[in-house]
């Protein structure tokens, strides 16, 4: 029997479940303060995956800019799927839904810092020419990835500019 879940923009009822979701998916990382800081920001697209009333997945896409460029870009992350529901296509579905929505909103490129094997399945390419707000450790070069949404194939170049919640060096290395 196929596993069924629904995707939508994050609802107020989902927000109470977010801390437990991120703690389950990332027991070694403390992402809840970042997620809670980003949720009310109008530059952020927040999507949830649910089975019934249970939140089983969540992703944020933060709109930003590249210094000296007119295009709007977005940063994907954090993305979490509850430990009991991983490997069922929930993360990939959340990414696809977010990319589709951002494309209709005119976002030119989406960036992500994450596992290249995982994100390549959703069309991301390693080693973007867009530089993050702070230098990344050398071993993370391939983890900094990009995907164009506007039909062109060239990676933008320049420094990524994001809302204040992302402007903390410890998030980048």
CATH code of the domain in which 14 resides: 3.40.630.30
46 three-class SS: strand
Whether 127 is covered by a domain: the verdict is yes
Q: How far apart are CA 151 and CA 41, in angstroms?
A: 28
Q: Which domain holds residue 105?
A: 6-171
Closest Cα partner for 170 from 127, 123, 135? Answer: 135
For the segment 41-68, the average pLDDT, to the nearest whole number, is: 97
Q: How many domains does one find in the chain?
A: 1
Per-residue pLDDT averaged across 79-106, rounded? 96
| Distance separating alpha carbons of residues 48 and 134, to the nearest angstrom | 29
Scan for tokens 């164009």, then name that residue.
148
List, as own/partner pairs, every contact residues 37-43 make where C-beta atoms lie below 8 angstroms and the sequence separation is at least 24, other chains included. 37/165, 38/62, 38/163, 38/165, 38/166, 39/10, 39/15, 41/163, 41/165, 43/163
Average pLDDT of the segment spanning 116-140: 94
Answer whether residue 1 is part of any domain. no
Please count the residues of the chain: 173
Q: Does any domain span residue 34? A: yes
pLDDT tens-digit series, residues 20-30: 999 989 998 89
pLDDT of 3 reads: 74
Judged against a pLDDT cut of 90, whether residue 173 lies above it is answered with: no
Cβ-based burial of 65 (10 A; exposed 0-12, middle 13-18, buried ≥19): middle
Whether 94 maps to a domain, the answer reads yes
Q: Yes or no: say if 163 and 38 are a contact pair by the CB < 8 Å rule.
A: yes
Does any domain span residue 138?
yes
Share of the chain above pLDDT 70, in %: 99
């Amino acid at each position: 029997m196929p596993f069924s879940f629904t995707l939508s923009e994050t609802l107020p009822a989902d927000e109470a479940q977010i801390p437990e979701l991120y703690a389950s998916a990332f027991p070694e990382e403390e992402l809840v303060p970042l997620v809670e800081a980003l949720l009310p920001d109008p530059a952020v697209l927040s999507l949830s995956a649910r089975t019934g009333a249970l939140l089983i997945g969540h992703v944020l896409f933060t709109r930003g800019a590249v210094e000296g460029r007119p295009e709007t870009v977005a940063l994907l992350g954090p993305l979490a799927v509850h430990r009991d529901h991983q490997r069922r296509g929930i993360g990939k579905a959340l990414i696809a839904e977010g990319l589709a929505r951002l494309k209709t909103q005119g976002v030119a490129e989406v960036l992500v810092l994450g596992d290249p094997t995982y994100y390549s399945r959703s069309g991301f390419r390693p080693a973007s020419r867009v530089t993050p707000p702070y230098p990344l450790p050398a071993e993370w070069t391939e983890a900094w990835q990009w995907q164009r949404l506007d039909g062109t194939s060239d990676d933008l170049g320049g420094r990524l500019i994001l809302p204040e919640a992302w402007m903390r060096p410890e998030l980048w290395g």
